[in-house]
Structure 1
Amino acid sequence: MSVGETGVAMLMSVRMAPPLPLMFLILIHGVSSAEWGVSYRLSHICALKDSSVIMSCTYTYPTGYEIRKVFWTKNPVHGEEPPDLSEDPEYSQRLQYLGDEQKNCTIRLSHVTQKDSHMYCFRFTTNVTDGKWKGYPGVTLTVTDLQVESSETVTEGDSVRLTCKSSCALTDRATFIWYRNSQPLTERRDRNNQLLLQSVRREDAGRYSCALQEHTYISPAAQLNVTYPPKNVSVSISPSGEIVEGDSVTLICSSDSNPPAEISWFKGGMIVGSGRIYSISNISSDHSGEYKCKSKNKHGEKYSETVTLNVMYPPRNVSVLINGPAEIVEGDSVTLICSSDSNPPALNFSWFKENQSSSVGSGQSFSAQQSGRFYCEAHNQHGSQRSDAVSVTVKGRLVILYISIGVVSGASVIITVLLILRSRGKRIKDNLETQC
């Protein structure tokens, strides 16, 4: 039985026994529990994980006693001798006794974790067999971590408040520090454990964590998701160079939005597809035109600028039109018109007369018997095509007076080449040939 327990028993005996002389009561008081005790500055401590905790205390004992041993223990059990924490491997490297063997019993416990959440008591013994004392109840330590609490999703332009929470009220006065994506927010310190973001921007999205100034522990990160309507909508074409009929072409719509946007494709004012990628295989001239995409989510929509798809192709639909009589006599003239659809425009044209190997050029002449069938051939860098032949009957001498080229712009480019033929008499032959 300890001195404290002995003192209680003696007092009970005094109450039950007949009155004693005053002198005896004074002697009993000299060894009562009033001179034994342990006083803790704080009975409850809330500490941050991985921090150091100081448990301050003092103790008293009667004059004349000598201290033999001082130590701290945890979760004492009535009737059992408490263990010395300094001999426990889990505490021996982290527990430092800062007191003395007279009256100060303060300790420091470093790198605390949630497993250190217990009641801790100071114990001392003296040179007297029953001169032992246990400071019960002791200091209740609760070790907490930090958690960021916030709305997971906020819309651009709104305000949001983030709170750095702990499971108990921290004993030490705390200054909070905030991090976004592991980077400290510049000069962002808040004593009331809250971070207010006003008029949130999409750049504010990220993983937020908090800590206490002068502490190494940082909370787990909480994701803040900022939603916003489509921005920066644009279209790119692949391949980016010249597109020739028969190629495969891909149009890609880029859009910055949260949540991801739905994409629609337009050619002129007509919808032609959906999805971020619009592919055209075996492209033809019919696919030429202006394209744009629309990006849309629940917060809004936006169109891209238009892009022009310009498909190159060789001459086609080459034909000859007779402007004038198919049978010409002396003094008459007829114009043969060669038309071609191509991209880029065919600027190289050749005129031929059937059964004649060379082309008909300016300044050439034919005899009166050289009626025949004429055709043209159009060329660009992607190919060439010949027209069907048309018949011209000549009564007289035929000369080529003029070859001209005209360009008509529209959905496709039409090249028109004029071949002017004229039949004339011998008396003006020399003059006409000179003019030609």
Structure 2
Amino acid sequence: MGTVPGPAMCQVVPDPPKNTTIVSAPSGEIAEGTRVTLTCMSEADPPVHTYTWIKKSGAVELKSGKENTLTFSKIHSEDSGEYLCRADNTIGHQNSPAVSIKVLYPPNNTTIVSDPSGEIPDGGNVTLTCMSEADCFHVSFSPDPPKNTRVVSDSSGEIIEGNNVTLTCMSEADPPVHTYTWIKKRGAVELESGKENTLTFRNVRSEDSGEYLCRAANRIGQQDSPAMFIKFSSMRHDQTILIAVLVGVVLSAVVGLFCIICRLRQSQQLATNNNKTSGEDSQDGNHGNNMQMNLNPNTTQPDAVYQSLNPNTMQPDPVYQTLNPYSHTN
């Protein structure tokens, strides 16, 4: 007898973080005093549990925790430098490429230096030099439309129905992006538009599956991201197999219990029928015995009719006594 092969089991292989990158907002040349946010993006399954921010100069660890952002509320010239982030999950970690931040600031520590210094004789030559520390602002600049626009999901791998999922639109632009537009590619459905660069699905359903893209726009132009295909599954494959096995076991148990109950009922019915048959046979036997007693002249209690006709009884019938010529009664 052959063996029926069982269903193939699907094993999910976990991965360490990959494609770890830093996005700066705003990007390009940054003026001192501007609010700057660096965002660490990484793909990992299981998800990243710790983001660590490091300033490359001096390998200074700035911040570590669940937050994937590093924010300078008012950036200063001394904040210039190269920054990287490290993404960690339970499988491993990955460092991002370093991002260079250059802060422009107005002149400061302005001084005049005399050469020669001190007391200068009349008629002598002297040179005065104005010294200042500055990283000059450019009066003119060439603005750029958005570029490198892309969509990043906070959940990688198979996404189960009922979970929450957030898509983030990342783009580099100078001047900064002022409008993000989310589009579902099938039917070209515009979902939402505004300053928020995220699209959140709460309690996702399988019908939310599809290709999504975002459009980043500033006053110079706009750019669409490549479409990202998102698939929301009603259940994991291995969970489906487990439930199918459990359902099969339960159905088998129910069928077995039903068969046992049917057999018990058949046994009870057979016993009842046997008892009825035995009772009827007993009643028929008693009835035959009574009839035999009534018809048998040798019984102790003969039938009343037989006694009246039998001349040998102890108490002869009065009619017979009257007709008998041998009777003692005159």
With the shorter chain as reference, the TM-score category is: 0.3 to 0.5
Higher strand share: 1
Q: Which has the higher contact order (CA 8 A, sep 6+)?
A: 2
Higher helix share: 2
Length-normalised TM-score, structure 2: 0.37
